[in-house]
Amino acid sequence: MTSAPVFTPQIPDTAARKVEFISLSHLNPSTELDPVPTRGIDLDYFRKYVRALEDGGYDYTLLPYGSNSADSFVVASAVGQLTERIRPIVALRPNTTFPLVAAQKLATLDQLTEGRAVVHLISGGSDAEQARQGDYLPKDRRYARTAEYVDLLRRAWSERAPFSHEGEFYRFDDFGPGFAPHGETIPISIGGQSDQAFQVGGEQADVFSFWGEPLDDLRGEIERVHAIARAAGRTTLPRIWVTFRPIVAETDELAWRKAHEYVARIGETFAKSAYGKQKHHQHAPQNVGSQRALSFAERSELYDRALWTRTAAVTNAAGASTALVGSPETVAAAILDYVDRGADLVSIRGYDTLADAVDYGKHVLPLVRQELAHREATGTRGTLQSEHLGNYGEDYRRFAAAGQ
C-alpha cells in the first residue's frame, strides 16, 4: 500500500481549475485486444466513433499520424463535418508538409469547423520511421526544424502583408497574406519528452503533452517545462496534456480482473505483432517518452492511487500505454490527482476502444466535472478523492495481486 496522502478540503495551489477531455479517434474496430487484419477505414464504425465522442462530452479528438496510417488532415476534416462541437487535433510531422502549406491546410480546417482546429506537432521519435518518408535528420535537428516551423505557422496565420524568410530549414519569398484561420490563431501542441522537446515546448507551445507518469514525476516535468517558458519571458504558460489508457469496471475488484485478462491478451497481440501494420520492435525505443514509461514499469507495477505500468511493459511502451485501473470513482479520483498537479487536458482511451469511450463518457467524465463544479461553487475539494482510495486503501493491492 502506498502511504495515503491526506485529502484536506483545501484545493492545492498547483491544481488546474478547469479540465478538458481528449480521446483519440479509431477508424476501424481493430484493437490491441482483438486485432482485425485491415488496412482501412470502416466508415460506418468511424462515424459511430466520433459521434460517441461528441455525445460522451469529450472536448477534443486526436487524429494520430504514422507513415502507414490514414492521413490525419483528411480524417480531421471528416471529423469536423461529422460533428458540431468536438475539436479535431491534427497530429502533424513537420517533415511531411511545408510549413506554409500546413498553415493553409490548418486554416482551412479551422474555417470549415468554425474555429475548432488544433495541431499537435510530432518531431519524430524513431529514425527508421522518419526515414520511411525521406526524413534523415537526427532528432535534435528535427526539433530545431520544429521550432522554425512553429514560428512560420504563426506568422502565416497573422502577417497582414507579404513576407520572405531564409532560415536554417526553410526559405521562401514574398508569401502572404496567407489564408487566415476562423479565429485569431490555432493552438499548437508539442509531443515528446526529450530535452529538445522541453525546450521547444517550453518556449513556443500552447500545449505540452505527456503520457501518464507517476504523480511526482509528472509534477517535476510540468515544473521543468514551465520554468523554460518563464525563462523565455512567457506570461502564458503551456497548458498540460496527460494521456492514460484506463481499465474501468463497476468495482475496483472487477476492474483488476479485467486488467489481468486484458494484459494477457494485449501481450499476446504484441508478441505476434498482430496489431498495426508495422512489425513491433522489441529493441529499446529511441523516443524518451517510451523509455520513461519502460523505466517506470521496471521500477514498479503500481503507483499512486491507480497507475498501472504492466500494459507499458508488454507493449514495449509503443504509444500511450500506462493504465489507470479501478471503478469509475477510483479512476475519476486518480484523474483529479493529476488535475491537482496541474494537468488541464486529460486524454483517455481504453483498450476496448469504442465501448470504453462510451463508458467513460457516461461514468468517468461526469464525476470529474462534478468535482470541479463543486470546487468552483464552494472553493473546497469534494470527497471523491478521500472516499475512493484505490491503492492508498487496504483492499486494492490485494485485488491487484489476485489476478496474477
Which listed range, 33-41, 187-195, 274-282, 366-374, lies at the site for ligand FMN (CB under 6 A)? 187-195
Rounded (5°) CA angle 161-162-168: 125
Query: Residue 341 has what DSSP assignment?
Result: T
| Cell numbers found for residue 233 | 519571458
Residue closest to 385 by CA, chosen among 347, 337, 345: 337
Is position 64 an interface residue for ligand FMN (rule: CB under 6 A)?
A: yes
Pairing of strands 307-308, 239-244: unpaired
Closest approach of Cβ 65 to ligand FMN, in Å?
Answer: 5
Which listed range, 58-66, 163-171, 232-240, 365-373, lies at the site for ligand FMN (CB under 6 A)? 58-66
Do 208 and 176 contact (CB within 8 A), yes or no?
no
- From candidates 23, 61, 193, 353, binder to ligand FMN by CB under 6 A: 193
Is position 61 an interface residue for ligand FMN (rule: CB under 6 A)?
A: no
- Single-letter amino acid, residue 52: A
Residues in the chain: 404
End-to-end alpha-carbon separation of the chain, Å?
17
Q: How many CA atoms lie within 13 A of 388 on its CB side?
A: 24
Closest approach of Cβ 336 to ligand FMN, in Å?
Answer: 20
- From candidates 77, 95, 243, 385, binder to ligand FMN by CB under 6 A: 243
Q: Is 148 helix (H, G, I), strand (E, B) or coil?
A: helix
Nearest CB to ligand FMN, comparing residues 221 and 253: 221
Q: Shortest Cβ contact with ligand FMN: which residue?
A: 125
Is position 209 an interface residue for ligand FMN (rule: CB under 6 A)?
A: yes
- From candidates 49, 58, 65, 399, binder to ligand FMN by CB under 6 A: 65
Is position 361 an interface residue for ligand FMN (rule: CB under 6 A)?
A: no
Binding mask 97-136 for ligand FMN (x = CB under 6 A): -------------------------xxxx-----------
Is position 191 an interface residue for ligand FMN (rule: CB under 6 A)?
A: yes
* CA distance linking residue 4 with residue 347, whole number of Å: 25
| Cell numbers found for residue 78 | 471528416
| Cell numbers found for residue 374 | 463543486
In terms of C-beta distances under 8 Å and separation of at least 24 residues, what long-range contacts does 231-235 make, across chains too?
A: 231/202, 232/202, 232/203, 234/203
Is position 194 an interface residue for ligand FMN (rule: CB under 6 A)?
A: yes
Which listed range, 64-72, 100-108, 332-340, 365-373, lies at the site for ligand FMN (CB under 6 A)? 64-72
Is position 201 an interface residue for ligand FMN (rule: CB under 6 A)?
A: no
Residues within the interface to ligand FMN (CB under 6 A): 64-66, 91, 122-125, 191-194, 197, 209-211, 243, 287-289
